[in-house]
Amino acid sequence: MKSAMMKRNVATTMKASGNVPKATFVRKVAQTAGIAASTLALTLSANAAEVKLGTDSGGLQFVPSSVTIKKGDSVTWKNNAGFPHNVVFDEDECPSGVDVDKLSNEDYLNAPGETVTRTFNVAGEYNYYCEPHQGAGMAGKIIVQ
């Protein structure tokens, strides 16, 4: 019970601290969760960013729409609202040599909470979109440093 509450607190704090520098952000989250910052930093350095498919209110957006990660990190997209969604990378909008067919998940995510995870091993900027909602502007960016 206690650990479920802690998780919720961490998630809330993470959502609210969009532009806070990482160190400050880690400290804040650690304070909120009541655990050592060093422990949390270690956890975060495994680095899996999460992007929600659809806003909590059902908006047709990736949340957050832009994510910055390091080479070797992965991104997990989680079905949230307004689905079906998918994740499609455009060859012209990714670093050259990247296999966009492998990176994309063209199958629709239909179930709530369904996830797709991809690992990024080539630095650069990746732009992607959701095919069913491309017309509504559902697009995102991954910056791999």
What is the contact surface with Cu ion in residues (CB under 5 A)?
Answer: 85, 130, 133, 138
Residues marked active site are found at 85, 130, 133, 138
Query: Does the annotation flag 1 for ligand binding?
Result: no
CB of residue 85 to Cu ion, shortest distance in Å: 3
Neighbours of 96 (CB within 10 A): 8
Query: Does the annotation flag 133 for ligand binding?
Result: yes
The conformational region for residue 91 under phi > 0 = left, psi -120 to 50 = alpha, else beta, is alpha
Nearer to Cu ion, 40 or 60 (CB): 60
Nearer to Cu ion, 26 or 60 (CB): 60
Query: Does the annotation flag 85 for ligand binding?
Result: yes
CB of residue 16 to Cu ion, shortest distance in Å: 24
- In the chain, the largest separation of any two C-alpha atoms, in whole Å, equals 47
- How many angstroms separate the CA atoms of 44 and 46, rounded? 5
> Could you give the 3-state DSSP secondary structure of residue 124?
strand
List the binding residues: 85, 130, 133, 138
